[in-house]
């Protein structure tokens, strides 16, 4: 796996990071003693030292696992105590966990939060406005929203290239002519969402496919095996780079802008101090479209552990 080192543009592998960080164990015992002494002296000076422990959650797909591990590890490097509860479930479930106090923070996509939790069906004029609207709405409900990532990851409807060619499909609206003959697969929660879900397809696009609930990990398998004709995928999915699939154009923009920030209970953010938010922001700003797709590919295609991938990325960018 390769990640770009910020400010240099130089690709760096996880193996190279390990060599730079650990020296493959060739350091002398004296050097280790000095390093330990320095660590002991500096630990007390870390901004998170002595701050309350925080429980961070993430949702139920690889990109969220990566985000959870990135934020946890970066915060722990600053002395914060972070408990991670991964794989909580959908936005609806993660939000309930936040409200009930099971977690105090989790990474969320701003457009999804506004549509699914806030019930705001009209998308903002641009990504900046979407983020500002999210900050405003959350602030009224006792939560902070950190700076959003450069990358955006929205839902999209994908079909096999052969299927698109056979039925002359270019846009989501083109599915209308196929009626209920179209078998659409997606996460179960897609069936009730508006505008970024099946209800939106019905009301806005006048498209009425037969819906088949799928686990997120099976979207592309279902497409490849003809279990479904179309699937609700994520725009940062590595398989979309293969050229095997066509993403239908969302001409009515029902899926909106989807940049990621960390939703944090406001009182918790205050207790943790300004360095907490600054640390989260330092991670988020590195997550460009190219970076997140590379991270996703390392986990989804190369089958590497999300925590390992996150650690390599943070080390490569000087945050560990």
217/187 Cα distance (integer angstroms): 10
Measured distance CA(107)–CA(254) in Å, rounded:
21
Domains for the chain: give ranges and CATH numbers. 2-150+260-316 (3.40.190.10), 155-247 (3.40.190.120)
In three state form, how does the secondary structure of 133-165 look? HHHHHHHHCCEEECCCCCCECCEEEEEEHHHHH
Tell the burial category of 272 from Cβ atoms under 10 Å away from its Cβ (0-12, 13-18, 19+).
Answer: buried
pLDDT attached to residue 273: 97
pLDDT tens track, the chain, 320 positions = 444 433 323 333 443 333 323 322 323 333 344 344 445 446 668 999 999 999 999 999 999 999 999 999 999 999 999 999 999 999 999 999 999 999 999 999 999 999 999 999 999 999 999 999 999 999 999 999 999 999 999 999 999 999 999 999 999 999 999 999 999 999 999 999 999 999 999 999 999 999 999 999 999 999 999 999 999 999 999 999 999 999 999 999 999 999 999 999 999 999 999 999 999 999 999 999 999 999 999 999 999 999 999 999 999 999 99
DSSP the chain: -EEEPTTT--EEEHHHHHHHHHGGG-S-HHHHHHHHHHHHHHHTTSTTTTPPPEEEE--SSHHHHHHHHHHHHHHHHTT--EEEE----SHHHHHHHHHHTS-SEEEEEHHHIIIIIS---SPPSSHHHHHHHHHHHHHHTTEEE-PPPS-B--EEEEEEHHHHHHHT--BGGGGGGGGGG-EEEE-GGGGG-SSSSHHHIIIII---PEEEE--GGGHHHHHHTTS-SEEEEETT-GGGGGSSEEEPB-TT--S---BEEEEEEHHHHHHH-HHHHHHHHHHHTT--HHHHHHHHHHHHTS---HHHHHHHHHHHTT--
Residue 22's pLDDT is 31
**Tokens, residue 211:** 């819906």
Residue 221 CB-density burial (10 A; 0-12 exposed, 13-18 middle, 19+ buried): middle
- Residue 315: its pLDDT value, please? 98
Task: Supply the pLDDT for residue 19.
Answer: 30
């Amino acid at each position: 796996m390769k990640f770009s080192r910020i400010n240099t543009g130089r690709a760096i592998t996880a193996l190279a990071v390990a060599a730079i960080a650990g020296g493959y164990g060739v350091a002398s015992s004296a050097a280790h003693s000095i390093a330990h002494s320095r660590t002991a002296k500096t630990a007390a000076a870390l901004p998170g030292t002595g701050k309350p422990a925080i429980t961070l959650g993430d949702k139920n797909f690889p990109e969220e696992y990566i985000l959870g591990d990135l934020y946890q590890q970066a915060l722990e490097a600053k002395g914060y105590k972070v408990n991670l509860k991964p794989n909580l479930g959908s936005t609806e479930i993660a939000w309930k966990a936040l409200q009930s106090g099971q977690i105090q923070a989790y990474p969320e996509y701003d457009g999804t939060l506004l549509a699914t939790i806030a019930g705001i069906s009209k998308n903002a004029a641009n990504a900046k406005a979407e983020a500002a609207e999210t900050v405003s709405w959350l602030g009224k409900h006792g939560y902070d929203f950190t700076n959003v990532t450069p990358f955006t990851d929205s839902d999209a409807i994908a079909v096999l290239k052969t299927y698109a060619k056979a039925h002359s499909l270019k846009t989501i609206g083109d599915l209308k002519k196929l009626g209920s003959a179209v078998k659409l697969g997606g996460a179960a929660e897609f069936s009730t969402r508006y505008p970024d879900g099946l209800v939106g397809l019905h009301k806005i696009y006048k498209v009425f496919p037969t819906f088949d609930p799928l686990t997120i990990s099976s979207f592309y398998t279902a497409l490849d095996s003809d279990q479904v004709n179309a699937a609700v995928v994520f725009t940062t999915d590595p398989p979309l780079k293969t050229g095997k699939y066509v993403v239908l154009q969302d001409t009515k923009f029902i899926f909106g802008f989807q940049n990621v920030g960390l939703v944090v209970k406001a009182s918790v953010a205050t207790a943790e101090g300004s360095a907490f938010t600054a640390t989260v922001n330092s991670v988020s700003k590195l997550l460009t479209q190219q970076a997140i797709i590379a991270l996703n590919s390392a986990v989804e295609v190369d089958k590497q552990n999300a925590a390992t991938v996150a650690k390599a990325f943070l080390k490569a960018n000087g945050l560990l």
